[in-house]
Each structure stands twice: as C-alpha cells, then as structure tokens.
Homo-oligomer: A and B are copies of this chain.
Amino acid sequence: MDLWYTEKHSENVGITLKATRTLFSGKSPFQQLDIIETLEYGRMMLLDGLVMVTERDEFVYHDMISHPALFTHPCPKRVLVIGGGDGGSIREIMKHATVEEAVLCEIDGLVIEKSIELLPSMACDIDGSNPRVTLHVDDGLAYIREHQDAFDLILVDSTDPIGPAVGLFEEDFYRLVHGALKKDGIMVAQSESPFYHAEIQKNMYRNLRNVFPIVEMYQAFIPTYPSGLWSFAFASKQYHPVRDFDKARAAARPFHTRYYNEDLHLGAFMLPTFARENIAP
C-alpha cells in the first residue's frame, strides 16, 4: 500500500509525506489526535489534521520557543508552558540549571498520555521521572488566573488560533499572562507564518503591544509547517532580547543545540521586510 498524508496549508497548497502506519487515532473532548509514522520525518503528531510536531524537525521549534527567552532572562527559575503537551519545550527548559520548577499546563490529557507512550524522545521530562517538572491538565487561562506574579517565563506553545487555542491570541489573555509574570518576566508565544498569516500576526502583535512594553518578532525555519517560515512573539516587561542578551552566557551553554546558537539568537530577530511590515505598529 502506498500511503501518503497530505496537509493542506491553504485550499491550494500543501505538504505531502509518505507514511507507513497509524500509531494512534482518537478523539479527546477537545480535538482529534493522530500519530502516524512517516518515512522522511519519523513519527508525526497531528491535531485536528494539522502537523504539530515530527521527530525529525521538532528540534527547531523546541530550541526556538525556549532558548531565546531562557538566555535573555538573567536567571529564570520558574517557567510555565501553556500547551506543549508533547513535552518538547519542557525538555529544552530542563537543560537550564537555573530552572527550579517548570509547570506544564496542557488542556488535553490525551496529548500528554500519547506523547509519553509514542513520542518518548520529546516527552522524556513529562513522564514523571523529573522532580523539577509539574503537570497540570487544565485550561491555561484558568491556571494563570490563579497564579499571578508567579513566573519568570511563560511559553505559549499553542495550536493555531482556531479550536481550543483561539483565546490564546487575545488581549485579555495577554493581560492575564502579564499578571502571572514577575516584574521582569518574559512571555514567548508561537505566532504563525509571516508568509501565510499576515492578518493573524497583525492582530496578535497589536494585542501584545497593548499589554507589554517590549514586543519583538523572531523567526525560525520549520520544514513541516506552512511555508517553512515560522515566527515567535517575544513579549517582555523589562529585558530586550537583543540589547539585554548575554551572548557570552549563551555561547558557554553546557549542552548541544542543533538549531539555536548565540549568533542565530541575534539573527532570528533580523526579519525579512515583508515580515516586518506584517507587524508594523
């Protein structure tokens, strides 16, 4: 059988991957979850038919949602991840010795359960083995409402602004995140493709600027995401990701990163003109 999985990135373009088998397919109260085995990208998790992570290119996303903020904040101790039930972001956070506690707040327990079972290279620190990690199967909004002034970093590792994540792109949510951060805290959120999602970006960055004094976009290349060019929003109360970045500390990191490095940290903020224009104030 010649099995191909095609994700349409719009009505008229998509990526197609040869697959060998479906490892899991099921419906949670929140969404459809599928994990399939592909030949080129290894195991791949889909939520409502959209690629979330693959084993081959997840290193880019997880390096880039975590290390830029972790190396900008001078001493991150308490970190919250909203979403990110595959565990990849937590795995990267755990590489930072300053971090005393990382909390994962994922709305969908099935994502966590199946990641532990089928994506162990990502879920290695959310399987109960790491005492610095706490899991909450809960709505991110509810959780941060009850945990104000609590975190150095909050990473919003969400799906697209359709389905369960729609509220995570709105100003009210960013106000709650702002409150849940300590006085010098930083939020990072995935912010879609500058090539395909100009309108979403425009609204999202306007909302963020209404709440945070420092808001910058940075880019990463993720081959299985629409267009291959992806972006993250860096929203901060005090530290600027370029001006306050301690390049020497990042260069001396005691672990290997296949995507992130101290030069790329700076380069990621140097955007193509069209991406700048998407979010021009």
- Do residues B221 and A272 form an inter-chain contact, with CB atoms below 8 A? yes
Indicate whether A199 reaches chain B with its CB closer than 8 angstroms: no
Complex Cα gap A271–B227 (Å)? 19
- Do residues B274 and A258 form an inter-chain contact, with CB atoms below 8 A? yes
Chain A: residues with Cβ within 8 Å of the partner, total of 42
Cβ–Cβ < 8 Å partners of A10 in chain B: 40
Indicate whether A31 reaches chain B with its CB closer than 8 angstroms: no
Complex Cα gap A223–B272 (Å)? 14
Indicate whether A129 reaches chain B with its CB closer than 8 angstroms: no
> Which listed residue, B18, B221, B271, B276, touches A229 by the CB 8 Å rule?
B221
- Do residues B271 and A264 form an inter-chain contact, with CB atoms below 8 A? yes
Query: What string of 1s and 0s marks CB contacts (under 8 Å) between A190-228 and chain B?
Result: 000001000000000000000000000001011100011
Question: Measured between C-beta atoms, what is the minimum distance from A69 to chain B in Å?
Answer: 18
Complex Cα gap A228–B259 (Å)? 15
Q: A11-B18, A13-B41, A15-B15 are in contact. Are A272 and B228 (CB under 8 A)?
A: no
Minimum CB distance partner of A271 in chain B: B264
Indicate whether A266 reaches chain B with its CB closer than 8 angstroms: yes
Complex Cα gap A12–B231 (Å)? 26
> Which listed residue, B17, B219, B259, B263, touches A12 by the CB 8 Å rule?
B17
Q: List 7 A-B contacts (CB under 8 A).
A: A12-B38, A13-B17, A227-B228, A259-B274, A263-B270, A263-B271, A264-B273
- Do residues A13 and B16 form an inter-chain contact, with CB atoms below 8 A? yes
Cβ–Cβ < 8 Å partners of A263 in chain B: 270-271
Query: What string of 1s and 0s marks CB contacts (under 8 Å) between A11-25 and chain B?
Result: 111111110000000
Indicate whether A32 reaches chain B with its CB closer than 8 angstroms: no
Question: Measured between C-beta atoms, what is the minimum distance from A21 to chain B in Å?
Answer: 14
Q: A12-B18, A18-B12, A195-B223 are in contact. Are A261 and B272 (CB under 8 A)?
A: yes
Question: Measured between C-beta atoms, what is the minimum distance from A15 to chain B in Å?
Answer: 6
Cβ–Cβ < 8 Å partners of A222 in chain B: 228
- Do residues A264 and B259 form an inter-chain contact, with CB atoms below 8 A? no
Complex Cα gap A264–B217 (Å)? 13
Indicate whether A75 reaches chain B with its CB closer than 8 angstroms: no
- Do residues B6 and A13 form an inter-chain contact, with CB atoms below 8 A? no
Minimum CB distance partner of A20 in chain B: B12
Cβ–Cβ < 8 Å partners of A273 in chain B: 256-261, 264
Cβ–Cβ < 8 Å partners of A276 in chain B: 261
Question: Measured between C-beta atoms, what is the minimum distance from A263 to chain B in Å?
Answer: 4
Extra 15 A-B pairs, beta carbons < 8 Å, given A256-B273, A259-B272, A267-B271: A6-B16, A12-B17, A12-B18, A13-B18, A13-B38, A13-B39, A14-B15, A57-B195, A221-B221, A223-B227, A258-B272, A259-B273, A260-B273, A267-B267, A267-B268
